[in-house]
A and B are shown apart, each in its own frame.
Chain A
Amino acid sequence: MEHIVIIGNGVSGVTAARHIRKLSDKKITIISAETDYFFSRTALMYVYMGHMKFEHTQPYENWFWKKNRINLVKGFVEKIKHNTKTLILSNSEEIQYDKLIIATGSKPNKFGWPGQDLNHVQGLYSKQDLDALEANAPNNKVCKRAVIVGGGLIGIEMAEMLRSRNIPVTFLVRESSFWNGVLPDGESQLINEHIIEHHIDLRLETNLVEIIADENGKARAVTTDKGDTIDCDVVGLTAGVSPNINFLKESGIEIGRGVKVNRLLETNIKDIYAIGDCAEQHEAIGNRRPIEAVWYTGRMMGETIAQTICGNPTEYKPGHWFNSAKFLDLEYQTYGWVFSDKGKKEYEQHFHWRHSSEKICVTIAFHKETKKFLGINTFGIRMRHEIFDRWLTENRTIEYVMEHLKDANFDPEFYTQYEKEIVSKFNQEFNTNIVPKKKNWKRIFTKTKANA
C-alpha cells in the first residue's frame, strides 16, 4: 500500500489527508511536533481571551483519526533523504514514505532586531506561543505593559487578547496608518480610530530599534526610532510570517522564501509536494502573492494535492480572491481585488461610503473605463460570498452591483440595511440614477454556468 506522509497537521496537511482518505485506501501518516491533534490556529486568541477552551479549537473529535485510518505521529522531522525516501526525526526514528507532502506552515518573522530572542519576546502563531503568552502575560500584575511590533492581522489580534486582561498595550506600526499597504486609506483610518477607542496606545510610523534585557535575560523595555524607551514585560513580534522550512536547507528540495512548487504543487524532487503557507509558486497566480499565508488557500491546496496524489493530476487554481478578518469588534470581508491607495492599479477607481456615526463602511473598486466591478471591501456589513463570486465571474459592472446590492447582503435578520444610502451616495458622486432592486431569492440562487 502506498504510504503518504504529510509533515504538518495544520489545515493544509489535514485537508490533504482527509481528501486522500475520501479518494483512496492509501496509508496516511501525519507528523507534527506542535500538537497531538489538528486545531484551528485562527482560534488561539479565543482561548487566551476565555471564549473557548483549547479543545474547542479542534474541529474533529479525537476518535476521528483512528476511525479514518489517519496515523498521527508526534515528532519533529530533521532531515529528508529523498534518494531513499526516508525521513529522520529528531529522536532518530526513521519513517519511509512513498509520497511526501510538506505542509509545515509559517513562523513569525524576526528581522534581526537586537534582543529579539530574549525571554518574554514572542510571536503568536503556534500552540507553544499561546502557552508562552499565558505564562508571560497572565494578568496586568505580571505583565504591566506589552509592546507589539508590527501592524498586521496577528498584531491586532494580540493587542485584543492582551486588552481582554486589561494589560496596557503599545502597538508599534511601521506604516503611516494601520494596514494601509492592504486597505484603502478610508478603511485604514477607520481601524486606526477603532484601535484607539479600545485604549490601545497606537504608534504609527514607529519602528522597533532594540529590545532591552533585564539582569535575567527577560525583555524589560524597547526603544523606538522616535527615541522613546517603553518599559514592558512582553514584546510581541507580529511583523508577518514566513515559511517554516529551515529543516529543508540541505534536503536538495528547491527553496526560495518557501518551498518552490509548480501549479501541480510539485517540488523539484519527484514524489515530494508542498502545500499551504510554506509553498511558494514559481510564478504568482493572478494578483495573488507567490506565498499565500491564508487559511482557505491552505485548505484548497490540500484538496488539490489529494486529487493529484490519487491519480488525477490537478493544478492549483484558486478562484476569485476573497478574505475576511476581524479587527477588535470590526468585521471585515473582501471579495475580488480592492487595492490600497499605495498599490492601486492605474485603471482602478474606488467608491467609498462610510456611515455617519457607526464604524461601517464599504469600498468598491471598479475599472475607470469599462466600469467593470473589480472588488469590494466591507466593514461592519456582511456580504454573500456566492453572489460576489458570481458577479466577478460574470464580469458585472459597478452599476449592476449597485442595483443588486441587496441580493448580496448577508447581515443577520432585522439589521439596519444601508444599500439605499450607499447607492444614493454613488448616484451623487457618479451622476447616475440607479435604484436598488429588492432582494430576490431567485437571483440569489441562480447559478452561473460555470457553477452549475
Chain B
Amino acid sequence: MMKAIQNIGITIFLVGFGIFAALPFLGNFKLDQKNYDELITSQGIKSELFIQDLKNKIVDKDFSGITSLAPIVETAIDNANIVHSKNKEWGKKVYAGSDDLATAIRKKSGYGFIPENKGLMWLLTFGLSILGALMFIVPQVITLGKKGIKNDHIYHQSSTNKGWIAWLVFIFLVSFYLVLYFKSEYAVNWTYLVDPISESLSGNPAGHWFVYGFMYCVVMVIMAIRMYIKYRHNMYQMVRTTSVLFFQIVFAFLIPEIMVRLQLSYSKGYDFKNAFPLDYDFFFNWNLKELISSGGLGLFILVWGILLTVVIVPVMVYFFGKRWYCSWVCGCGGLAETLGDPYRQHSSKSLFSWKVERWLIHGVLLFALVMTGFTLYGFFAETGTVLGIKVQSIMNTYSFLIGAIFAGVIGTGFYPIFGNRVWCRFGCPLAAYLGFVQRFKSRFRITTNGGQCISCGNCSTYCEQGIDVRAYAQKGENIVRSSCVGCGVCSAVCPRGVLKLENGPLEGRINPTDVLLGNDVDLMELVNKK
C-alpha cells in the first residue's frame, strides 16, 4: 500500500520534473518593435549601429526555445564595437553582456502557451514535483519502521551509492548551475512559472536568480520533511533542520524580496545573515558605493556586515562552535543538510583528502582576502588598477572560479558523487575563517565517551565533512577539528553512545594524552609518557 503510494509519487514527480527539465528548450519567442525599443532604452544602449543591426536580425522574427540568441547578440555587439573603437566613439560602445542581453530579450518576447498559462505551468512543474516528492517521502513515516537510525540499504541503492541515478542527478545539477550562471537565456521559461510569486513579493517579474531562490526554498522544505521523518528520534536534528529552514526562507529569500518591494534607499535586497567572506562582493566598490549613497539603511547594512564578520561570527563560534553558522544558519549549509543529506557518506575520509582540503580552503580564503584588499585599496585610492593589476579582473576571476564554478557547479552539482559539503569543506572562505576560531578558541567539541568506542566506523562514514571521527573516538580523544560543522550526525549514528556535541570549558577540550578509560591507570600513564 505505502509502496504503491510511493511509486505513484515517483511517477508524478518524474512527470513534473521532466516538464521542468524540458522547458528551456520549448516555447517561442518573437520580439516586436515596441518591446525592442523599450529594451534598448532600459539597457541604456546608444550605438545606432548595434540597434539597427540587432533589429534586422531579431525583431519580428520567430525563434524557438532551442535557438540560442546569445551568439546573434554577441556578433552584433562585436561588429558595432569594432567600428566604435576605430572611430574612438567610446560613449557608444556596448558594454552589456551578450548572455544578459539575450536573456532580457527572451524574457520580453516569449509568447504562446507557457507565458500565457503561468499558473497552470507552475502546477505542472513545481506542483507535480512537490506533490510527487511528498507522496514518496511522507509514507516513510511507516515504511522506515520504528524511529531510530535508518540507514538501511544506502550502499545498496543506485541513488545513494553512486549508481546511474546518482550520475543522472549529477548531470542535472551541473547542467542546472551552468544554465543559471552562464546560459541564463535558457532559464527564461522557468522565470515565467514564478512571475506571479515574484510579483506578489517584490513587485517585479522574476529573473533566473529568483527561480533559483524559490526552488532553493522549495527543495529545502521538501527535503527538510524527509529529515524530520528520518531523524524523528533525534531532537538535535529536528531543531537544527528547523533553524536552517527558517534562516533560508526568511533571511535569504523573503527579506531581500520585501526590501525590493519597499523600494528602500538601498534598492537591492540584502541577506542579513550572509557574512563576508562567503558574501565575497560585500566590499566590491560598486556595493560600497551603493551602501554609502543609500543613507541610513545603507550605512546600517555596512556596519552590520562588518560587525557580523568581525565580532558576531567569531564570538558565536567561541561559544557554540562554527555549527551555529554552518549547520544552523547558512544557506549553503542548509541545502547541504537537506537536499544533500542522502549523499553525506560520499565525503572522502582519506588523509590525502584532508591535505587537499587544507590547501584549497585556506587558498580560497587567502584569495578572497587579497582580492578584498585590492578592491578596498582601489576604492579608497579611487583607482581601477592596483600594483599594475586591474582590480576588476581579479573580481571577475574570483566570481567566475570561486563564486560560480566552485560554490555552485561543483559545490552542489557534485553532491551525489563527492558528498554534500564539497564547497563547505574545500572552498568556503568563511568556513576557513570560522575553522580557525573553532580549532583554537572555542568551547565547542565532540566529546568521546571514555572507552566505549568499538571502531565500527559509522561516525566516519556519515561525516559529511570527511573527518575520520573514529580515528579520535577509538583513542578516547575528543574531536576538535576546524572543519566540523556540528551537524550532529556522528553522534546520531553511533550505536554505542560514544559521541556528544557540547560546549564546555576550554580546559580539557583537547585531550590527546588523556586516559582511555577502563584500563588500569598506571599503565595508561606509561603509555602516555611513552
Chain A positions within 8 Å of B, measured between CB atoms, are 11, 19, 22-23, 40, 42-43, 46-47, 49-53, 56-59, 61, 164, 197-198, 295-296, 299-300, 303-304, 307, 312, 314-320, 322, 324-326, 328-329, 331, 333, 382-386, 389, 410-416, 441-442, 444-445, 450-451
User: What's the nearest-Cβ distance from chain A to residue B241, in Å?
Assistant: 12
Interface size of B as a range: 35 or more
Inter-subunit contact B517/A52 (CB<8 Å): no
Q: Is B220 an interface residue (CB 8 A)?
A: no
Q: Is B91 an interface residue (CB 8 A)?
A: no
Inter-subunit contact A43/B456 (CB<8 Å): yes
A319 and B517 in contact, given A52-B155, A329-B148 (Cβ under 8 angstroms): yes
Residues 145-160 of B at the A interface (beta carbon under 8 Å):
145-149, 151-157
On chain B, the residues within 8 Å of A307 by CB distance are 523, 526-527
Binds A, one of B302-310, B433-441, B489-497: B489-497
On chain A, the residues within 8 Å of B157 by CB distance are 50
User: What's the nearest-Cβ distance from chain B to residue A387, in Å?
Assistant: 9
Cα(A198)–Cα(B146), bound, Å: 8
Inter-subunit contact A324/B452 (CB<8 Å): yes
User: What's the nearest-Cβ distance from chain A to residue B432, in Å?
Assistant: 25
Cα(A303)–Cα(B476), bound, Å: 14
Q: Is B48 an interface residue (CB 8 A)?
A: no
B151, B239, B492, B502: the one within 8 Å of A51 (CB): B151
Q: List 13 A-B contacts (CB under 8 A).
A: A43-B458, A58-B457, A303-B527, A312-B526, A318-B520, A322-B452, A324-B496, A385-B452, A385-B517, A385-B518, A386-B449, A410-B500, A413-B488
User: What's the nearest-Cβ distance from chain A to residue B353, in Å?
Assistant: 11
Q: Is B86 an interface residue (CB 8 A)?
A: no
Of chain B, the residue at the smallest CB distance from A416 is B235
Inter-subunit contact B151/A50 (CB<8 Å): yes
A445 and B461 in contact, given A164-B152, A331-B497 (Cβ under 8 angstroms): no
Q: Is B382 an interface residue (CB 8 A)?
A: no
Inter-subunit contact A23/B530 (CB<8 Å): yes
On chain B, the residues within 8 Å of A56 by CB distance are 457, 460-461
Inter-subunit contact B235/A412 (CB<8 Å): yes
On chain A, the residues within 8 Å of B238 by CB distance are 414
Inter-subunit contact B501/A331 (CB<8 Å): no
Q: Chain B binding site: helix, strand, loop or mixed by DSSP?
A: loop
Inter-subunit contact B526/A333 (CB<8 Å): no
On chain A, the residues within 8 Å of B519 by CB distance are 300, 303-304, 317-319
A385 and B449 in contact, given A59-B471, A318-B520, A329-B149 (Cβ under 8 angstroms): yes
Inter-subunit contact A412/B236 (CB<8 Å): yes
The total of Cβ contacts below 8 Å across the A-B interface reads 180
Inter-subunit contact A413/B153 (CB<8 Å): no
B455, B456, B470, B497: the one within 8 Å of A46 (CB): B456
Inter-subunit contact B456/A40 (CB<8 Å): yes
User: What's the nearest-Cβ distance from chain B to residue A169, in Å?
Assistant: 14
B457, B507, B518: the one within 8 Å of A320 (CB): B518
Q: Is B350 an interface residue (CB 8 A)?
A: yes
Of the listed residues A317, A382, A442, the one surrounded by the most CB atoms of chain B closer than 10 A to its CB is A382
A164, A320, A410, A444: the one within 8 Å of B497 (CB): A410
Of chain B, the residue at the smallest CB distance from A15 is B474
Cα(A111)–Cα(B526), bound, Å: 43
A57 and B457 in contact, given A197-B146, A329-B147, A385-B451 (Cβ under 8 angstroms): yes
Q: Is B234 an interface residue (CB 8 A)?
A: yes
User: What's the nearest-Cβ distance from chain A to residue B391, in Å?
Assistant: 44
User: What's the nearest-Cβ distance from chain B to residue A296, in Å?
Assistant: 5
A450 and B518 in contact, given A198-B145, A385-B449 (Cβ under 8 angstroms): no
Q: Is B218 an interface residue (CB 8 A)?
A: no
Inter-subunit contact B458/A51 (CB<8 Å): yes
Of chain A, the residue at the smallest CB distance from B508 is A445
Inter-subunit contact A51/B461 (CB<8 Å): yes
Cα(A361)–Cα(B399), bound, Å: 55
Cα(A47)–Cα(B457), bound, Å: 11
On chain B, the residues within 8 Å of A412 by CB distance are 234-236, 488, 491-492, 500-501
Q: Is B505 an interface residue (CB 8 A)?
A: yes
On chain B, the residues within 8 Å of A316 by CB distance are 520
A384 and B351 in contact, given A49-B152, A51-B151 (Cβ under 8 angstroms): no
Contact with A along B448-480 (1 / 0, CB 8 A): 011110111110110000000011001000000
Inter-subunit contact B450/A414 (CB<8 Å): no
Inter-subunit contact B521/A322 (CB<8 Å): no
Inter-subunit contact A322/B155 (CB<8 Å): no
Chain B positions within 8 Å of A, measured between CB atoms, are 145-149, 151-157, 233-236, 238-239, 350-351, 447, 449-452, 454-458, 460-461, 470-471, 474, 488, 491-493, 495-497, 500-502, 504-505, 507-508, 515-524, 526-527, 530
Q: Chain A binding site: helix, strand, loop or mixed by DSSP?
A: mixed
Inter-subunit contact A50/B449 (CB<8 Å): no
Cα(A209)–Cα(B364), bound, Å: 68
A50 and B153 in contact, given A320-B518, A451-B515 (Cβ under 8 angstroms): yes
B455, B461, B502, B523: the one within 8 Å of A303 (CB): B523
Inter-subunit contact B155/A53 (CB<8 Å): yes
On chain B, the residues within 8 Å of A295 by CB distance are 454-455
Inter-subunit contact A319/B474 (CB<8 Å): no
Cα(A389)–Cα(B526), bound, Å: 20
Cα(A450)–Cα(B520), bound, Å: 10
B455, B471, B493: the one within 8 Å of A11 (CB): B455
Cα(A450)–Cα(B148), bound, Å: 38
A46, A296, A413: the one within 8 Å of B518 (CB): A296
User: What's the nearest-Cβ distance from chain B to residue A192, in Å?
Assistant: 15
A52 and B457 in contact, given A19-B527, A318-B519 (Cβ under 8 angstroms): yes
On chain B, the residues within 8 Å of A382 by CB distance are 449, 497, 500
On chain B, the residues within 8 Å of A43 by CB distance are 454-458
9 extra interface residue pairs, beta carbon distance < 8 Å, beyond A57-B457, A318-B520, A329-B149: A50-B153, A303-B516, A316-B520, A317-B522, A320-B518, A382-B497, A385-B517, A415-B236, A444-B504
User: What's the nearest-Cβ distance from chain B to residue A55, in Å?
Assistant: 9
Cα(A303)–Cα(B521), bound, Å: 12
A42 and B456 in contact, given A50-B154, A412-B501 (Cβ under 8 angstroms): yes
On chain A, the residues within 8 Å of B458 by CB distance are 43, 46, 51-52
Inter-subunit contact B454/A413 (CB<8 Å): no
Of chain A, the residue at the smallest CB distance from B146 is A329
A11, A51, A328, A331: the one within 8 Å of B496 (CB): A331
Cα(A318)–Cα(B491), bound, Å: 27
On chain B, the residues within 8 Å of A324 by CB distance are 452, 454, 496-497
Inter-subunit contact A40/B497 (CB<8 Å): no
Inter-subunit contact A413/B502 (CB<8 Å): yes
Of chain A, the residue at the smallest CB distance from B505 is A441
Listed from nearest, the 4 A-B pairs whose CB atoms lie closest are A385-B450, A329-B148, A317-B520, A382-B497
Cα(A11)–Cα(B259), bound, Å: 60
User: What's the nearest-Cβ distance from chain A to residue B69, in Å?
Assistant: 48
User: What's the nearest-Cβ distance from chain B to residue A22, in Å?
Assistant: 6
Of the listed residues B145, B495, B526, the one surrounded by the most CB atoms of chain A closer than 10 A to its CB is B495
Cα(A399)–Cα(B447), bound, Å: 27
Inter-subunit contact A410/B156 (CB<8 Å): no
Inter-subunit contact A300/B457 (CB<8 Å): no
A414 and B235 in contact, given A52-B155, A326-B495 (Cβ under 8 angstroms): yes
Cα(A308)–Cα(B148), bound, Å: 43
Inter-subunit contact A50/B488 (CB<8 Å): no
Cα(A384)–Cα(B500), bound, Å: 10
Of the listed residues B351, B460, B496, B507, the one surrounded by the most CB atoms of chain A closer than 10 A to its CB is B496
Inter-subunit contact B517/A40 (CB<8 Å): no
On chain A, the residues within 8 Å of B154 by CB distance are 50-51
On chain B, the residues within 8 Å of A383 by CB distance are 497
